[in-house]
Amino acid sequence: MENFELNPLVEPAVTWYEKNKRDLPWRRDNHPYHIWVSEIMLQQTRVEAVKGYYERFLHRLPTIEALADCPEDELLKLWEGLGYYNRVRNMQCAAKVIMESYNGQMPQDYEEILNLPGIGAYTAGAIASIAFQIPVPAVDGNVLRILSRVREDDGDIKKEGTKKRVTKELFPFMPKNHPGSFNQAMMEIGACVCVPNGEPLCHSCPWESMCLSHKHGTTDHYPVKSKPKKRQIEEKTVFLIVDGENLLIEKRPSKGLLAGLYQFPNVEGWVEREDAVAFAREKGLDPVFVEPLPEAKHIFSHIEWRMKGYLLKVSDFRGWKNEKEGNGILISKDEIRMEYAIPAAFETYAAYVNLPLGKKGFL
């Protein structure tokens, strides 16, 4: 890849983008807040999945001020199902800084955007280049992949050092007249043409004549990616404790995985039916019906939950003892749908009490 000229990539990519870009809600204006929300949502989540979330989020929180002032439970509910909940918490921290230090307006300076909580080089580059036409790169996984293929770059794209190097290499080539279009063109080529899974569609690519891996038939070898670390397996048993109307949920600790979200009561390890009954009895409840539920699995980035579940029907909750520092909540499904964010990890079990989560639960 030595001496590969980046400059000739710019104009064909921008021309292709202007002709082929998808009509996406966040592309209809170049408002910095809209770009920010969409870029944070799109990290780790597909475009189609993000669309509904994006529109609902902006309808409820149309300004940076509204985001700064939003109660935490409501904020997490708006994010329910998108995962990586620290993303939206950090957005709120940044919104508060913007309110305090920038009069509620996104700063129009790359370094100042980069200094906001939760905004890394990619997001800062996207906001600065698309909203303010500042010639800075925005390098995400898509951009790393396509530049790796086009240049036969052996750098491991999982390594932070590779991302930093590619970002640095792009800086001098950012076009001053349309940096936002160039960044979006690269994202779009990565999403639609030089795709991550499956054969790249080289015949539709504006870089076909320049691409080294296409020329040498090495697209399979690029990008170079180190293998992810093995996930830690955790077994859990989940209890759905319900009467006709209500069910028990509890708030997760304020730190760690899924911090501050709500969940069905659960214990570490897989337990038997009699243990499930004993669990309910410890809470002062007397199950009249116990149904073992199928196993479920949820994969986080470094952890995998393997779950078993029990549906425990009680005739009423009169004897209920709220333990664990009183974090248990007896609540109706409608109230959960309105206000309490339950992560997608519990989706399989939520279905047994007809409680739709995430996008399926939009009101």
And the tokens for 281?
Answer: 């009895």
- CB-nearer residue toward ligand SF4: 77 or 149: 149
149 binds ligand SF4 (CB under 6 A): yes
Q: Which helix (H) or strand (E) holds 111?
A: helix 110-114
Q: Applying CB under 6 A, which of residues 6, 114, 121, 202 lies at the interface with ligand SF4?
A: 202
| Least distance (Å) between residue 194 CB and ligand SF4 | 3
Q: Applying CB under 6 A, which of residues 54, 207, 305, 340 lies at the interface with ligand SF4?
A: 207
166 binds ligand SF4 (CB under 6 A): no
- CB-nearer residue toward ligand SF4: 80 or 153: 153
The answer to whether 313 and 289 are in contact (CB under 8 A) is yes
Instruction: Assess whether 74 carries a catalytic annotation.
Output: no
The answer to whether 145 and 207 are in contact (CB under 8 A) is no
Q: Applying CB under 6 A, which of residues 130, 186, 211, 280 lies at the interface with ligand SF4?
A: 211
20 binds ligand SF4 (CB under 6 A): no
208 binds ligand SF4 (CB under 6 A): yes
CA 217 to chain centroid, in Å, comes to 34
Q: How far is CA 248 from CA 19, 239, 251, 263, in A?
A: 53, 9, 10, 9
And the tokens for 178?
Answer: 């349309």
| Least distance (Å) between residue 260 CB and ligand SF4 | 41
237 binds ligand SF4 (CB under 6 A): no
User: Which member of 2, 39, 72, 112 is catalytic?
Assistant: 39
The answer to whether 4 and 207 are in contact (CB under 8 A) is no
Region of 27-35, 131-139, 144-152, 235-243 interacting with ligand SF4 (CB under 6 A): 144-152
- CB-nearer residue toward ligand SF4: 152 or 347: 152
Radius of gyration of the chain (CA): 24
- CA dist 105 and 91 (Å) reads 14
Region of 2-10, 95-103, 173-181, 209-217 interacting with ligand SF4 (CB under 6 A): 209-217
Q: Applying CB under 6 A, which of residues 106, 116, 126, 146 lies at the interface with ligand SF4?
A: 146
And the tokens for 221?
Answer: 């070898």
* Cross-strand pairs, 291: 311
- CB-nearer residue toward ligand SF4: 73 or 208: 208
Helix (H, G, I), strand (E, B) or coil at 46: coil
200 binds ligand SF4 (CB under 6 A): yes
And the tokens for 120?
Answer: 């890394």
Q: Applying CB under 6 A, which of residues 82, 194, 341, 350 lies at the interface with ligand SF4?
A: 194
- CB-nearer residue toward ligand SF4: 82 or 146: 146
The answer to whether 133 and 37 are in contact (CB under 8 A) is no
- CB-nearer residue toward ligand SF4: 15 or 332: 15
Identity of the residue numbered 325: E
And the tokens for 329?
Answer: 């909540």
Region of 45-53, 106-114, 210-218, 311-319 interacting with ligand SF4 (CB under 6 A): 210-218
Sequence-separated (6 or more) residues with CB below 8 Å from residue 5: none
Burial class (CB in 10 A: 0-12, 13-18, 19+), 161: exposed
* Positions in the binding site for ligand SF4 (CB under 6 A): 146, 149-150, 193-194, 200-202, 205, 207-208, 211, 213-214, 219
Show which residues are catalytic: 39
